[in-house]
Structure 1
């Protein structure tokens, strides 16, 4: 049997908990957020059905790491969502990727690097002061097939 407690009073900042207690540790932590978008594309120099115009419901997974701020947050999930909406999704959702992305073959491998670069640039400009950095982007083209870009691979010249 579970022992349930009914809370009759919420914990209050500066009364029940000191602001200095909000940050529990000084470790790097990874947070992740997922998004989906629908888009059409076709592949060049490819012999198979993907050479024809077709569409996908893509899923993008971001892994972003950083140190926690005084509130205990690495990055607000809303900040990730705003970057996605304002800087990345506008080029992808319900678009013909061959036209809206830079000239490239619109493979999952190429698109995931472009998404990584856009998020990395936006995080750099945001300058959160907690050494926030993108660790990986995973782009699912189907529920069982994805391409991934990782920081350690992207920083190798």
Structure 2
């Protein structure tokens, strides 16, 4: 049976700051991120299965990504917990802002690695994460491919 890739796209708004960076992104700012999630698998061949012909139900993939990524990162501000931004993070949290502290510099590159780990851990065993594309601006994106990380 043929392996098939399917992709679902998501959008969310997230703020961040890059501590120690030598450009404008050292300042707190935000992006309208677009995340494309591509999984690979074999379509279900059991005609009695309600998901017959599907690799994975788009709704099931949406639930995973929404819970692991979109619901967590949408309208949040992400800071590296090992930087002085921790003081700003505490102040924002105290004022009831949604802040996420991560153990990495919150670049698109590092975020896409984090997202890949979160999504992979939730996929059914017969479905593999093939790739992620995290678009930060109209012209800039980071990509993660399973084949590059095996």
When normalised by structure 2's length, the TM-score is 0.79
Query: 1:103-156: CA deviations, max 9, x gaps?
Result: 211000000000111110110xx33xxx2100100000001100011101222x
- Contact 2:112–2:133 (CA under 8 A) maintained in structure 1: yes
| Stretches of structure 2 lacking an aligned partner (at least 5 in a row) | 46-51, 80-98
Larger radius of gyration: 1
- Alignment match, 2:76: 95
Q: State the superposition RMSD in angstroms.
A: 1.1
CA distance in 1, matches of 2:27, 2:13: 17
CA distance in 2, matches of 1:84, 1:101: 19
Q: Return the structure number with greater strand share.
A: 2
Q: Is the aligned partner of 1:73 residue 2:54?
A: yes
- Alignment match, 1:148: 143
- 1:94-133 equivalences under 5 Å are 94-98=75-79, 99-123=99-123, 126-127=124-125, 131-133=126-128
Aligned residue-pair number: 125
When normalised by structure 1's length, the TM-score is 0.76
CA distance in 2, matches of 1:102, 1:69: 38
CA distance in 2, matches of 1:133, 1:150: 11
CA separation of 1:101/1:136 partners in 2, compared to 1, >3 Å: closer, same or farther? farther
Query: 1:27-48: CA deviations, max 9, x gaps?
Result: 0000000000001000022111
After superposing the two structures, state which structure 1 stretch, 106-115 or 91-100, moved more: 91-100
| Stretches of structure 1 lacking an aligned partner (at least 5 in a row) | 1-25
